Every structure is written in C-alpha cells, then in structure tokens.
C-alpha cells in the first residue's frame, strides 16, 4: 500500500447543532457543510472537519442520518483501496459480511460498508 490506509471517518450524531458546537469548542475549528452529491439523496446532513490533502492524516465529518445510531458504535473508519466492490468480496471471504454494497457518492468516488469478523462496521472508499 503506497498511502496511509485511513482516508475518512464519520462520527454519527443525533443533534447536529449540539455536536457542531461541541467539536468546534473543543478543537477550536470551524466545521463546514458538505452538501450531498448532485442527484443523490442519502437523507443525511454532514459537517466536515476541514483538511489539507497535501498533508498527512485523514479528515472526516459529523453525520446525522435517520436510522443510524450514535454513541459507542457511532464511528466509521473508511479505508482507501483500488476497488471497494472487490474488497467487499474479500471481506466476506475473510469472515465478515457486506452491510452496504458498493455505491456511488458522485464526484467523490464510491463507498461500501462491511462488518468485520467481530461485528464492527467499517467503510471502504475508492475512486473507481
């Protein structure tokens, strides 16, 4: 792997205004609205932790989506890969299962969600 494996994270929240105020106060940053890609309605609200793609480390977002819990299991780490569809097949072979098959996120590429062998949910991201 020629890059850092974690490329994105999501922290799921119930009250976006409260979570925004919390993280902005604690980290002394400003979170920015990330609109959904055109033509895609995933029913979510996202505020991003701003980042610089030329520097090390991953960025991510606070996410509010109906039906997705927050709390102790409310964080998803996304691993970058060449083809998230093929990697989901590997997850199943290795003892996990697919939560959400490969899907387009518009100009941001593709994602898939899987359960690992312990039941944890993780994400895969690819541009193709």
pLDDT of residue 73: 73
Residues of the domain holding 72: 6-126
Q: Which pLDDT belongs to residue 36?
A: 82
Examine residue 92 and state whether it is found in any structural domain, yes or no: yes
CA distance 27 to 63: 17
pLDDT one-digit tens code per residue, 57-95: 889 999 998 777 777 677 889 998 999 999 999 999 988
Q: What total number of domains does the chain contain?
A: 1
Answer yes or no: is 56 within a domain. yes
Angle at Cα 69 formed by Cα 24 and Cα 34, nearest 5°?
45
Instruction: Please state, as a whole number, how many other Cβ atoms lie within 10 Å of the Cβ of residue 116.
Output: 13
- Residue 46, in any domain of the structure: yes
pTM: 0.75
93 lies in some domain: yes
- Give a yes or no: residue 109 inside a domain: yes
The least confident of 25-34, 38-47, 82-91 is: 38-47
41 in a structural domain: yes
Q: Residue 1 falls within a domain, yes or no?
A: no
What pLDDT was estimated at residue 57? 81
Q: How confident is the model at residue 1 (pLDDT cuts 50, 70, 90)?
A: low
Please provide the average confidence, as pLDDT, over all residues in the chain: 88
CATH number of the domain residue 46 falls in: 3.10.180.10
Dihedral class, residue 25 (left if φ above 0, else alpha if ψ from -120 to 50, else beta)? alpha
């Amino acid at each position: 792997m020629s890059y850092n494996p974690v490329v994105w994270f999501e922290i799921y929240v119930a009250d976006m205004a409260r979570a925004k105020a919390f993280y902005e106060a604690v980290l002394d940053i400003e979170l920015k609205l990330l609109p959904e890609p055109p033509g895609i309605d995933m029913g979510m609200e996202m505020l991003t932790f701003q980042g610089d793609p030329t520097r090390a480390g991953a960025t991510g977002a606070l996410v509010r989506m109906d039906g997705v819990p927050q709390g102790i299991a409310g964080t998803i780490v996304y691993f970058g890969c060449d083809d998230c569809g093929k990697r989901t097949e590997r997850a199943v072979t290795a003892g996990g299962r697919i939560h959400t098959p490969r899907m387009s996120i518009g100009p941001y590429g593709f994602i898939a969600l899987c359960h690992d062998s312990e039941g944890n949910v993780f994400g895969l991201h690819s541009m193709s």
